Structure 1
Amino acid sequence: MNAILEWPVEDDDAIGTALWIAAQIAEATGGVAGGGDFAVAGAATDSREVMEGDLFIALTGEAADGHRFVEGAVARGASGVLVDRAVAHAHVCVGDTSAALDALGRAARARLNAEARVIGVTGSAGKTGVKEALYAALDRSSRGQAHRSVKSFNNHVGVPLSLARMPARTRFGIFEMGMNHAGELSALTRLVRPHVAVVTTIAPAHIGHFADEAAIAQAKAEIFEGLEPGGIAIVPADSPHAQLLAGVARDHGARVILFGTAATADVRLIDALPTADGGTLVTAEFGESTGSPRKLCYTISQPGAHWAVNSLAVMAAVAAVGGDLGAAGLALAELPDLAGRGARHPIVVHGGDGTGHALLIDESYNANPASMLATITQLGATPARRRMAVLGAMKELGEGGDGYHAGLAAPLVAAGVTRALLVGAEMAPLAAALGTIDLTTLAAPIAFVHVPGAAQAAAILDSADWAPQGGDAILIKGSNSVGLSALVKALVAARADTDGPHTTAGGD
């Protein structure tokens, strides 16, 4: 009876419940604690995002000095602050708060249990979605002991901040890493030190900063530089740069797993079928080279061929870190829509087929040629009375930008889009291309309007000729700086569907 009543002893029982205490922060950063002892449950670098019990890290940048917002952070409930000068609050004072944030991130990574596993995710598109799917899968199987970077915290501030927020009891850590210049991933991956590194895809995103797409692939391959000994690299088999990526990974001692539709893929897509509720039924095969050959059949809540292929990377990574593939399949089936990255909103409208509803597809967070093609293709597979596309400019495409924008004309035609609202100066080549299409070859002509910004786009959509109608499907996609997310919010708020909830969550 006593044995039954005894509480089991766990390896991490000695770990405190606080994320950090003042002494630990001071030790990790080489700082000096003052103003009283404190413990924190979270961390933030933006005083507007501080929550009760957080550590506020006052970064000094070119645009603003975070020390100006210390009082506001404390008023919002910060338990302590990390600063480089004296303040009248509980604090740790350091010489450089940016360097201290990196140090705190390294300390969080170093204190993980030896059995914990860390996954790094990068790619030209899909990395936030894959990160979110991995988190859902591993959090489910570990019963809440997974941690990931939130939103798109994937740069020189977001990555160390995400590490610093990681509890010591974490079993699985998933971190997104982004870049738009060579050398950036090299620094980030050495902070994260992943056991598994995933590259989702290579595409001409930020190509204005690179000589060509191969140079982008080389920069993405920097993620393998931080792999732990015996690490695993998960690489897209369908990419023309697969061998480049695999070669760099092997140079850093990694075992390579290829995923995709190609015959060379170790985790290969056999079939992908749309489900009645808008998701995808996937059948995948793990080959002999994975060490555990098998076939898997699972459902993902998201539609589209790109999601089907990305789910292979998720399953490969889950298997690589010893996760539960059954739990992963359940998590993918229940994965919520991702705000700005495919979230689907039913909106109330008039006219059209008389149903009183249209479908708004929110892809407003980001855009590059590859993601534009994927989402326009998926729009074409979406049942609709009319298909409308509100497309914002794609940024940082360099000298080839005009060609990439004009190249969207053919996918719009193939998708059966009948109305295109083009937003931003960079969209002029697409307007010109649509204006020269031989309309006699089309089942229906593409009506289009080109406007300079999101405000003008909103006015167009509010007009009688362009207002969404019953049975329509409306895709809204563009680079984040174009501001189309405000257009999405306005449409959803003005045309709220009171018959059902909207689906909004984070991801890429």
Structure 2
Amino acid sequence: MTALWSSAEIAAATNGRASLEFEARGVAFDSREVGPGDLFVALKGEATDGHRFVGQALSQGASGVLASQPVDGPHVLVSDTANALDALGVASRARTAAKVVGVTGSVGKTSVKEALFAAFDRAAPGRAHRSLKSYNNHVGVPLSLARMPRETRFGVFEMGMNHAGELAALTRLVRPHVALVTTVALAHGAFFADESAIADAKGEIFQGLEPGGTAIIPYDSPHRDRLIAAARPYAAEIVTFGRDPAADVHARDGVSGPRGTLVRAKLRSAELSFTVGPPGEHWVTNALAVLAVVEAAGGDLAAAGLALADLAGLPGRGQRITIHLPDGDALLIDESYNANPASMRATLAMLGQERGRKVAILGAMRELGPEEARHHADLAAPIAAAGVGLALLVGTEMKPLAEALEGRVEFVHVPDAAAAAAQASSLIAPGDAVLVKGSNSVGLAGVVDALAGG
């Protein structure tokens, strides 16, 4: 396998000095994730210093270290490792001939990023690259760039933010040929005056577009025109997607079945009939966004359609797990990674389409700002509309929702994820469809583990 980086290339990119020659096949900044042949980047943070874990990284097979102080073992010495990681990402982006896609949005960006990778990898096996996990911040983005093999044909990079100005910096590192905003909704609302301010922050992704680049915008969003205005100074083309027939890429019709949703879509250059494997109306919209990006990037639409049919849910983002109970099985839908009002409504609507008794294990939605209580209480209507038979509410922030559900839906309210994990198994019966969703900081992944392991 061709080396990802030589020590000489690392030193040249970072203005560093190599202690001796070595080659790196990967890049990592978390010592627990270091594998054989990796470059370990010893970052200094507020809580810890990566230089403390150099020995561990080398013992796990790291071929070298990016360090800001001399260490025992092969290394490239730089003045600041965070700046050096940025520089390595910039060098990786500069040397690639890949079509590069940037993805952001309040809801769905990780799922859409994974779907795009599946679409590109199906057409060019082994030559598509994407951000792993949710590495979408000021450290994760340059790391994902630095990990991109030089022979990559399609690169997909997720970018997140919780303050204005963050996306502007990230997109200038990524320099996408195609930039997508999946949707704008109330997420990290504690840091923004309103949704319009969030739309403005999401619109920063267009500032890094390469000349001739394309902006992909959700037509059905109330902030569509605001996003178009943000894209216009930077994009050679602006493409909209959505359910409305006026969108450039839209669904003519869709029929749900046991193997997914059969969709007939109108694109700019073609019509395509395909199946969306994951359930839920929101996945039809996600699929339209994927096709809009693939078309703009010059990818293979037929391969993209096949990839959408084969998609499986990700842990924490729609993975479907069978719970084995003494008298039968139940379905567990793991949406435990994150939540905001828009994603809660979408996944509750999806739960409503499942067979059997519906059980919703819902954690608090964090960082919603001064209207937090109202946003939680407003979930009562979609819970009732989904036909939820039992709701397990997790977190003190869910008290307004508990009050709103009185007399409408049976519920149990517990203070934290540990209490939820202790009770959840006793509340589930064979044939149930169980949704677990909440902000990641609530810790509902532990509830998923308790149910799946039980």
TM-score > 0.5, shorter chain as reference:
yes
Give the shorter-chain TM-score range: over 0.9
Q: 1:297 aligns with which of 255, 268, 273?
A: 273
> 1:49-448 residue pairs with structure 2 within 5 A?
49-113=33-97, 116-277=98-259, 279-286=260-267, 290=268, 292=269, 294-350=270-326, 356-384=328-356, 386-435=357-406, 437=407, 439=408, 446-448=409-411
Offset, 1:447: 1.1
- Separation of aligned partners in 2, 1:273 and 1:471: 24
1:72-119: CA deviation from partner (whole Å, max 9, x where unpaired)? 000111000000001111000000000000000000000012xx2000
Structure with bigger gyration radius:
1
Offset, 1:350: 4.1
Offset, 1:336: 2.1
1:316-354: CA deviation from partner (whole Å, max 9, x where unpaired)? 111111111111111111112211011111111245xxx
- Separation of aligned partners in 2, 1:326 and 1:202: 29
1:26-61: CA deviation from partner (whole Å, max 9, x where unpaired)? 000000000x21001000000000011000000001
- Separation of aligned partners in 2, 1:368 and 1:189: 24
The letter for the 1-side match of 2:431 is G
Q: How many residues align?
A: 454
Moved over 4 A (4+): none
> 1:22-41 residue pairs with structure 2 within 5 A?
22-34=7-19, 36-41=20-25
1:424-448: CA deviation from partner (whole Å, max 9, x where unpaired)? 111111001111x5x4xxxxxx211
1:226-263: CA deviation from partner (whole Å, max 9, x where unpaired)? 00001100000000000110111012233110000123
The normalised TM-score by structure 1 is 0.88
- Separation of aligned partners in 2, 1:130 and 1:190: 21
Number of the residue aligned with 1:505: none
Instruction: Determine if contact 2:421/2:446 at 8 Å carries over to the other structure.
Output: no
* Structure 1 residues 253 and 328: alpha-carbon distance in aligned structure 2, compared to 1, 3 A threshold: closer
The letter for the 2-side match of 1:213 is E
Q: 2:420 aligns with which of 450, 457, 464?
A: 457
Instruction: Determine if contact 1:227/1:254 at 8 Å carries over to the other structure.
Output: no
Offset, 1:449: 1.1
The letter for the 1-side match of 2:274 is Y
Judge which range, 327-336 or 361-370, deviates more: 327-336
- Across the aligned residues of Structure 1 and Structure 2, the Cα RMSD in angstroms comes to 1.0
1:287-317: CA deviation from partner (whole Å, max 9, x where unpaired)? xxx3x2x221101210111000110010011
Instruction: Determine if contact 1:118/1:194 at 8 Å carries over to the other structure.
Output: yes
Matched, 1:480 2:451: no
User: Which structure 2 segments of 5+ residues have no match?
Assistant: none
